[in-house]
Chains A and B, each alone.
Chain A
Amino acid sequence: MKNSSLPCIILRFTMVLLFAWFAVQQLMDPSAWVGYLPEWTGYLPIPGEMLIMLNGWTELVLAAMMVVGCFTRWISIVLGLHLIGIAWTAGGAVGVRDAALALCMFALASGPADDWSLDGYVERNQK
């Protein structure tokens, strides 16, 4: 493993842990998370718990893709934009934290594919 890969590996697995943990929490107890939904979702003809579960499942699948490093850049951009949306909606201290996490996702997206990822494997084989 090249030393230059280490920061990307640490960042990738850190963000995977973050998203996986929140996703599992949302799937296990969706009603505890309904309060975090933005107000406009109140007019959607979809129960809040279902929205939370769909969000949790999406985050879990994307986190699983990030574990193996499959299309990491695209997933990082999607999850980064998702975090920006949450930061914008939540505001305050939570908003600042999530905006910082979103920037971490964009940093991951702009970095090179690391040695432990499927993207890195593909890139090495294309050279």
Chain B
Amino acid sequence: MSKNFASHFRLFVALIALGLLVVGSGYIIWSQRPIMKIANDTSGATASSEIAPLTSAVSYSMDDIAIHNTKDNCWSSVNGEVYDLTSFVYRHPGGAASIIKICGMDGSDLFSRQHGKSRKASAALILLKIGELKS
């Protein structure tokens, strides 16, 4: 067996793996593309109006939200929209405590006080939207 063959075969295997990595990662990103589009939208339309068609049929009352009041099952409403913050509790850059504080409650005041109109904070929040707050 020539040394070139062995070396080329190893390179071939590495290229196959690289291809799998790219295709697999592409699939993962593609499969969640609608969410990415909303998060990265920089057009005039607000993120909430973009996501509305996906969740417009789902609305929750404050009673529904109140049930989800623990760090392992954390819903909150912010400015008329309902979010499932469970997966975000320990990812919140400001610490878990300020998220746990609003589990099962309306977090509009706290969010506005802390983040104002921060685009970063809104982009992070919009990924977690599950519906609208019943008026």
The stretch from A5-13, A58-66, A95-103, A104-112 touching chain B is A58-66
Residues of A within 8 Å of B127, CB to CB, are 45, 47
| Residue of B9, B21, B35 with highest tally of chain A CB at under 10 A | B21
Of residues 46 through 100 on chain B, the ones whose CB sits less than 8 Å from some CB of chain A are 87-93, 95
Interface of B is mostly: helix
Query: Are A70 and B17 interface neighbours, CB within 8 A?
Result: yes
Q: Does A53 contact B (CB under 8 A)?
A: yes
Q: Does A37 contact B (CB under 8 A)?
A: yes
Residues of A within 8 Å of B90, CB to CB, are 34-37, 39
Query: Are B21 and A61 interface neighbours, CB within 8 A?
Result: yes
Query: Are A118 and B32 interface neighbours, CB within 8 A?
Result: no
Give the distance in Å from the alpha carbon of A65 to the alpha carbon of B17 in the complex.
7
Residues of A within 8 Å of B1, CB to CB, are 125
Query: Are B24 and A42 interface neighbours, CB within 8 A?
Result: no
Residues of A within 8 Å of B88, CB to CB, are 34, 42, 48
Q: How large is the interface on B (under 10, 10 to 19, 20 to 34, 35 or more residues)?
A: 35 or more
Query: Are B29 and A50 interface neighbours, CB within 8 A?
Result: yes
Q: Which of B3, B91, B120 contacts A41 (CB 8 A)?
A: B91
Q: Which of B9, B28, B29 contacts A118 (CB 8 A)?
A: B9
Query: Are A126 and B87 interface neighbours, CB within 8 A?
Result: no
Q: Does B40 contact A (CB under 8 A)?
A: yes
Mark interface residues in A14-43 (1 if CB within 8 Å of B CB, else 0): 000000000000000001001111111111
Residues of B within 8 Å of A35, CB to CB, are 87, 89-91
Mark interface residues in B8-52 (1 if CB within 8 Å of A CB, else 0): 011001100100110011001100100110011000000000000
Residues of A within 8 Å of B5, CB to CB, are 125
Query: Are A42 and B124 interface neighbours, CB within 8 A?
Result: yes
| Residue of B6, B24, B91 with highest tally of chain A CB at under 10 A | B91
Query: Are B13 and A39 interface neighbours, CB within 8 A?
Result: no
Task: Please list the 3 inter-chain residue pairs (A to B) with the smallest Cβ-Cβ separation, ordered nearest first.
Answer: A45-B39, A42-B91, A125-B6
A interface residue numbers (CB < 8 A to B): 31, 34-50, 53-54, 57-58, 61-62, 64-65, 68, 70-71, 118-119, 121-122, 124-126
Q: A53-B28, A70-B14 are in contact. List 8 more A-B contacts (CB 8 A).
A: A35-B89, A45-B123, A49-B87, A65-B13, A118-B13, A122-B6, A125-B6, A126-B3
